[in-house]
Structure 1
Amino acid sequence: MAYSIPFRPVDRVDRAERTLGGRQLAALLPDPVGRRPAYRHLAQAISALVLDGRIALHVRLPAERELAAALNTSRATITAVYDLLRESGYAHSRQGSGTWTALPEGRTPSGITRLLGPQDTAIDLARAAPGLPGQTLTDALVQVTPRLAEHAHTPGYHPYGLPELRAAIAERFTQRGLATMPEQILVTSGAQHALSLVIGLLCRPGDRVMVENPSYPNALEAMRRARLRTVSVPVTDTGWDIEIVESTLRQVVPQLACLIPDFHNPTGCLMPEQDRVRVLGAAQRSGTWLVIDETLADLALDVPAPPPFASHATPGGTGQVITIGSMSKTYWGGLRIGWLRAPSRLVTELAGQRIATDLGGSVLDQLLALALLARAAELLPPRLEQMRVQRAALAAALSERIPQWTWQLPPGGLSLWVDLGEPIASALAERALDYGVRIEGGAYFATDPGIFEQRLRMPYTTPPDTLREAVHRMAAALADGLPLSSATRRPHWVA
């Protein structure tokens, strides 16, 4: 199917795109009313937003009068806020051009800190990412060593991906019900890399993108940093309201629509086949590119693994569907192997964009991925059984220790989307740190601030005894009482 990408001239420097509006910033900040001194609370909140990346570096902050009006506070308060930000190194001023965000000397962005993982004995429930058995990796390394030696005589650059791995991924799609050629596959450094490439090629700042609410926070962050305008559709415990999805595609006509239909992160919902057909039809009518994240598709615990979303399209109707996936959730995130499936011409253009920052992935990692995918029929069943056991252990521990919490048992995926019954998630996450548990409140998965404070995402990717201990500690933290000041806490990074 032919496709076209509309030509859009982009200015070399667009200062409007590097300015944060007063309403935008106010939506991210706590209400200063009742907080004394208000200017210090606001400055701390802005500093935290800069550290965790929700406000980018080198972005112009709103004028003092504009932010004061948006927050319904005095200009003198905002003047004091900006003074404190400059003193602490989180902002600097340019004569005649306003106040700009900065990173203080010696500080590290929180996303990097969180990505490095816990440095102590805390139980980590912030990341839904299973490990890989050591023997499995050792066996794969032994298997691929001779092949790596063969590749050592070549330049080693594969911007499209290792040809044999592209062929294996294409065959995997074909076996699942979607005929695919290697030319339709681009191997990437994870699904997040694939999404960033798509956004970089198909979107420009200000474009509308339809997203789910809640959704995967790192995908939302990529869209924020690309300065896209997100339009959200709800995903509840019962799944998607397809009429809302259809009307959003029809009325908004977004450039992209990003969906996680297979054991949705974080709710665990699985989109029914008939709804997939309707979404495909609506996207085709609006001319919207569908980006389908299948990272969790193989983690089917109670139902058969779903076929590719694009396989439900009418003949010739897959030209506007981009499917992304990775090995992070089914095998190991340390491989950094992902992929996308798209029309071959689009794959060529994406590969051309890629080489500006990345000439190609590690040959060793790609050979390891090829070896692991070849053993999928052997390796995946025990992994799925392990997930079932751990899911049951977490559910049983919650029912015993904190029976007032509720959830829907997901048919697949890696986590429970727990309803706490009251908006205490951020406060509980802060208190849980004192008890040796890292977890993130539901607000981090929201497209808009101030919602899902009654939710926690609880992964079951650690052993049963660890999960039971984590629930025991969280129950103790809950019984100990929660701090009132934690509503401003923002998480840093999750998987």
Structure 2
Amino acid sequence: MTATAPAPAPSTAPVPAFAARAAAVGGSPVRDILAVTARPEVINFAGGLPAPEFFDSEGFAAAYQAVLTEQPGQALQYSTTEGEPALRARIAARYTERGLVTDADDILVTSGSQQALSLLATALVEPGDTVLVENPCYLAALQVFAFTGAHVVAVPGDEQGIDPGALESLIAEHRPKLLYTVPTFQNPTGRTMPAERRAAVAAVAARCGIWLVEDDPYGELRFEGERAPWIAAHPGAEDRTALLGSFSKVMAPGLRLGWLRAPAALRRACAIAKQGADLHTPTVNQLAAAWYLERYDLDAHVARVAGVYGERRDAMLAGLAAALPEGATWNRPEGGMFLWVRLPSGYDATERLRDVVAHDVAYVPGAPFYAGAPDPATLRLCFVTQTPEEIGEGLRRLRLGLA
């Protein structure tokens, strides 16, 4: 009997490559740092997380219980892409009460304001289009624009934000599609653009013909000073501004509830993009938030949270001079969650982070927040998650790590 040779193994071909944009866009250094510093003994000034002890868990337990008891069929069903009418009406009313007349139909509910930014980029930006951003800029916005294949150009500015003259010059040079800005308690710097500069930015946008994307996740967390009107409220900005908002910093980020307020045609384009992304934001979360807003005083809750955050900012400011090397500088934000530090010449915040983490404390280096040439000496500190006592101990460890 003749032996039969084994059949050859089937040949396999490699799977196709990832899209070029997936390879070109890196992950978030902030997320990477949070993963490294997840040990409970680390005092983490790196995160951008609200303090969890202020989440109104009892209020939201009541809200979810109510909507699941009283309207389970609606709460667990598909919803419209634009969002639940009750929630849109509540969001619109909050804008109107603050001087920006808004109708429920002006609002598109999104899965966090991060999705709103992504939808706007999808609707507005073609590969190769120029997008203008602040310098430094919110890191996740840079990621969104990188995924679209945009050419991202940083607009020079100062401690008050974007320089309107530089903005106009860059528009003439690059013919961009849009300007992205966080004018109130900016991430990462904590700076706030004053009202007169907001008006100037709105006028430049109207005169030169670009879209404005005004991101406002932190604006309600004010400790001191007077609120400046949104850029969207200034003459010239009405027909070209997408205003982004979120409940993440004032209710809870786990709800994933954000929105955009935009002119009808742009809002419709974003709704179509959202249909392709997730159809709609979870119905039960929207209804629970609407129920909560009807029965609870969110403004009083935010005022309490902002009062505590202000105390934590003051604790950090009080200890920075002793914690940082001589010659370091920093700002005093009027609200929000962050302050911005520049170490003395010769320091590299990225290189020094390893030594700092070895002392069980962490910050975010500033370099990843720059669209252009970074300032390696900069870093971001979040002051809202720790108590004043923890902040004091964290700054003591920071001094040792930077020594």
What is the TM-score of this pair, normalised by structure 2?
Answer: 0.87
Secondary structure of the structure 2 residue equivalent to 1:129: coil
1:279-321 deviations in Å (ceiling 9; x for gaps): 112112222110001111112211123332211124xx51111
Match of 1:343 in 2: 263
Q: Which moved more, 1:407-416 or 1:246-255?
A: 246-255
Match of 2:11 in 1: none
Match of 2:252 in 1: 332
1:409-463 deviations in Å (ceiling 9; x for gaps): 11222111011113320122222221112321110211125x2211111111121
CA contact 1:130–1:331 (8 Å) conserved in 2 = no
2 CA distance for matches of 1:134 and 1:389? 15
User: Is 1:418 aligned with 2:338?
Assistant: no
Structure 2: segments with no counterpart, 5+ residues: 1-17
2 CA distance for matches of 1:115 and 1:398? 22
Match of 2:239 in 1: 319
CA contact 1:125–1:439 (8 Å) conserved in 2 = yes
Alpha-carbon distance change, 137 to 322 in structure 1, aligned in 2, over 3 angstroms? same
Alpha-carbon distance change, 471 to 229 in structure 1, aligned in 2, over 3 angstroms? same
Match of 1:182 in 2: 104
CA contact 1:166–1:185 (8 Å) conserved in 2 = yes
CA contact 1:173–1:308 (8 Å) conserved in 2 = no
2 CA distance for matches of 1:135 and 1:262? 23
Correspondent of 2:193 among 249, 271, 279: 271
Secondary structure of the structure 1 residue equivalent to 2:251: helix
User: Is 1:453 aligned with 2:376?
Assistant: yes
User: Is 1:442 aligned with 2:366?
Assistant: yes
Secondary structure of the structure 2 residue equivalent to 1:412: coil
Match of 1:67 in 2: none
Number of matched pairs: 379
Match of 1:200 in 2: 122
| Aligned partner letter, 2:400 | A
Shift of 1:134: 6.1
Shift of 1:247: 1.9
CA contact 2:67–2:284 (8 Å) conserved in 1 = no
CA contact 1:250–1:282 (8 Å) conserved in 2 = no
Shift of 1:139: 2.1
Alpha-carbon distance change, 264 to 256 in structure 1, aligned in 2, over 3 angstroms? same
CA contact 1:263–1:297 (8 Å) conserved in 2 = yes
Secondary structure of the structure 1 residue equivalent to 2:381: strand
2 CA distance for matches of 1:439 and 1:351? 37
1:63-103 deviations in Å (ceiling 9; x for gaps): xxxxxxxxxxxxxxxxxxxxxxxxxxxxxxxxxxxxxxxxx
| Aligned partner letter, 2:363 | I
Match of 1:169 in 2: 91
Match of 1:120 in 2: 39
CA contact 1:290–1:322 (8 Å) conserved in 2 = yes
CA contact 1:183–1:347 (8 Å) conserved in 2 = no
Alpha-carbon distance change, 167 to 150 in structure 1, aligned in 2, over 3 angstroms? same
2 CA distance for matches of 1:117 and 1:365? 31
2 CA distance for matches of 1:273 and 1:166? 27
| Aligned partner letter, 1:407 | W
Correspondent of 2:357 among 428, 433, 445: 433
Shift of 1:261: 0.9
Correspondent of 2:298 among 376, 388, 392: 376
Match of 2:324 in 1: 402
Alignment of 1:187-336 (within 5 A): 187-314=109-236, 317-336=237-256
Shift of 1:55: 4.3
2 CA distance for matches of 1:253 and 1:418? 33
Structure 1: segments with no counterpart, 5+ residues: 1-16, 21-48, 57-108, 480-495
| Aligned partner letter, 1:171 | A
Secondary structure of the structure 2 residue equivalent to 1:291: strand
Shift of 1:199: 0.4
1:364-386 deviations in Å (ceiling 9; x for gaps): 32234335545222201111111
2 CA distance for matches of 1:312 and 1:464? 38
CA contact 2:161–2:183 (8 Å) conserved in 1 = no
Shift of 1:211: 0.5
Alpha-carbon distance change, 135 to 189 in structure 1, aligned in 2, over 3 angstroms? closer
2 CA distance for matches of 1:115 and 1:159? 33
2 CA distance for matches of 1:306 and 1:148? 39
Alpha-carbon distance change, 331 to 135 in structure 1, aligned in 2, over 3 angstroms? closer
2 CA distance for matches of 1:55 and 1:334? 24
Identity %: 31
| Aligned partner letter, 2:303 | P
2 CA distance for matches of 1:294 and 1:111? 20
User: Is 1:149 aligned with 2:72?
Assistant: no
2 CA distance for matches of 1:350 and 1:178? 21
CA contact 2:117–2:141 (8 Å) conserved in 1 = yes
Match of 1:352 in 2: 272
Q: Which moved more, 1:143-152 or 1:178-187?
A: 143-152
Alignment of 1:126-141 (within 5 A): 126-133=46-53, 136-141=56-61
| Aligned partner letter, 1:350 | C
| Aligned partner letter, 1:345 | A
Q: Which moved more, 1:166-175 or 1:405-414?
A: 405-414
Match of 2:14 in 1: none
Alpha-carbon distance change, 418 to 241 in structure 1, aligned in 2, over 3 angstroms? same
CA contact 2:350–2:365 (8 Å) conserved in 1 = yes
Shift of 1:249: 2.5
